[in-house]
Structure 1
């Protein structure tokens, strides 16, 4: 069988599915990409048994066939070819030969029938939402997911869906990120699913700011997202996410307003001399003024002062500066609000005048 295509048409879909392929696999076939050829279209599928990604490209061929090729080698060959190059792929026996210009590349294949597929149960819930909405929810919260935590349900992102809202929540036990999108979902009851970390990072990479609709299908153990010519399937984490509402600071709080960019720059400079392991930084609040201080075991010390809008009591509190910078890097407003209770309580960070996205950061002893 012979397939004719353009290098640029192939490379985009291959790069999409290539990131799903694990470099270290227990099954050799997981290093391959499944290629399904049908008149006018090539479909590419890659999986690591937790997530599966399928997308397609235009191509000309004289029949139908399924085969697998080494994903990384195929991608590297296509990347090395000149832009716009014509590509011919001939499949015969257990070998595939790719020709372009005067180049010829022959690769071994593994049987397509051995390629594993994720087969989710029938979807119990299905909804449509703008692609940009899901991307925004992920972008604003994914940084707070845990990484290889023994509490496996923290190694992912909670997606909570009601009739008029989609909410994303992530926490690693030291900080929490929550973001809401108000929209008519059409679902009957409340839905809570936990997407695994890899699926969240892949979706954040694949989704665009386009307002086109995507379809989200949820079953008891899987979620499937359809957008454009791409189908993304992931297993769900089977666990109970903690009651995040309990950690939201409440009661008699004192609010400071600061220029987001000014605060971010001051924290970045001060953090240079913080302890490299704990990254602690001391906040000393007084009316109209924020004093930042950091030091490390080498006896280095950094101090900086910043004018802020604050009329509360004097408070001295310590934070992991990395957690604060993570929040400031995803906020997209000129001013940031921080609500504090006392030196032993978590702070709530939000956009000034908005509670659509909320971030809780626990204090640390210095």
Structure 2
């Protein structure tokens, strides 16, 4: 196999593939990327960790048909280190090595047999969705930050995707807060409702790969896998086998206290209060009165912070504690100029959303301070 292509054509696909490949693997082949040339102008790159697989394509790759497996990190570092506009030649040798040439630069790299490269075996796809890339990326961005990290409740270490009628819902929770949003699907292959929990790593990689444009993407499911197909990328991941909590029961109903607040003012106030919170629990106390809300915090060193912010609110007084980090992450995910906070009492969860928006909501459990 021998192929020639530009640095620019190789670098971006290689970025997608190498991010999936773990640096330290028990199986050496899993540190590699599989290069396959059709001999006609197209090169495919495949990377996997046996849970997630990314296949991406480069056009304008001239040369002979064939396939080789090269260390992904080394190929990426070599390509990135070459000057912009450089032409790269990759040729497989008979001694189990590969030579990469560009200008006066020459690199000899070990290869592994391409036949040993693993691929994720998938069943027939039972359901296919289509929707604009920008909507899918927005849905992931608005909710993925609330996923759990290495929780023993393994089903929380991922994002729930739900197809309900012609809408896609994405839901994430770590047991202390919940994020939910929904968007319109362009089409579905069947009307059957489906729920799938996509692992954290897969969601993180999809956030990097999916671009914020109106290109239509395809999302396919079977009982064990999800596949997302873009223009030049095919992304496949195993699903988490578990039962996600009933998120509808978590979303509070009949909250009778509604606060309207300038989003930037609230973010700045919370950021100041966060400086003197307890580093472990990060609690802030909110005291809501007519037209005003005070925000206070303290820590074990007996240091205190106090601030006050104007709000649109008339009603009974309420005092409640929240994790300041959870509040700030929810506010960062909201794009509106003002936000609405819905409360019931000091012992009930609070809801953060854009005013009147019932599609995208963030639920935060209260803290005892």
TM-score range (shorter-chain normalised) is over 0.9
SS of 2:84's partner is coil
1:14 aligns with 14
**Which of residues 144, 150, 157 is equivalent to 2:159?**
157
**Which of residues 310, 315, 340 is equivalent to 2:313?**
310
Question: Would you say 1:329 and 2:332 are equivalent positions?
Answer: yes
Give deviations 1:176-225, integer Å, cap 9, x for gaps. 00001134533311110000000011111111111111011101100101
Contact 1:3 1:59 in 2 (8 A): no
1:196 aligns with 199
Aligned partners of 1:98 and 1:183: how far apart in 2?
44
Q: CA deviation at 1:299?
A: 1.2
Aligned partners of 1:194 and 1:111: how far apart in 2?
34
Aligned partners of 1:253 and 1:190: how far apart in 2?
33
1:265 aligns with 268
Contact 1:349 1:360 in 2 (8 A): yes
**1:356/1:92 Cα in 2 relative to 1: closer, same or farther (>3 Å)?**
same
Contact 2:160 2:196 in 1 (8 A): yes
Structure 1 range deviating more: 161-170 or 243-252: 243-252
TM-score (norm 1): 0.98
**Which of residues 98, 105, 108 is equivalent to 1:106?**
108
Question: Would you say 1:47 and 2:48 are equivalent positions?
Answer: yes
Q: CA deviation at 1:46?
A: 0.2
How many residue pairs match? The answer is: 366
Aligned partners of 2:23 and 2:346: how far apart in 1?
46
Aligned partners of 1:152 and 1:224: how far apart in 2?
21
**Which of residues 77, 85, 98 is equivalent to 1:96?**
98
Contact 2:276 2:303 in 1 (8 A): yes
Q: CA deviation at 1:163?
A: 2.4
Q: CA deviation at 1:59?
A: 3.9
Contact 1:20 1:46 in 2 (8 A): yes
Q: CA deviation at 1:126?
A: 1.1
2:343 aligns with 340
Aligned partners of 2:25 and 2:91: how far apart in 1?
27
Contact 2:288 2:318 in 1 (8 A): yes
Aligned partners of 1:326 and 1:229: how far apart in 2?
32
* Aligned alpha-carbon RMSD (Å): 1.0
Aligned partners of 2:204 and 2:185: how far apart in 1?
23
Map of 1:201-350 to 2, 5 A cutoff? 201-350=204-353
Question: Would you say 1:141 and 2:176 are equivalent positions?
Answer: no
Aligned partners of 1:154 and 1:66: how far apart in 2?
39
Contact 2:131 2:184 in 1 (8 A): no
1:178 aligns with 180
Aligned partners of 1:316 and 1:306: how far apart in 2?
15
SS of 2:362's partner is strand
SS of 2:131's partner is strand
**1:102/1:183 Cα in 2 relative to 1: closer, same or farther (>3 Å)?**
closer
Q: CA deviation at 1:2?
A: 2.3
Contact 2:4 2:63 in 1 (8 A): no
Aligned partners of 1:21 and 1:78: how far apart in 2?
16
Contact 2:130 2:185 in 1 (8 A): no
Structure 1: 5+ residue stretches without partners: none
Question: Would you say 1:132 and 2:96 are equivalent positions?
Answer: no
Q: CA deviation at 1:58?
A: 2.4
Aligned partners of 2:98 and 2:167: how far apart in 1?
49
Q: CA deviation at 1:44?
A: 0.2
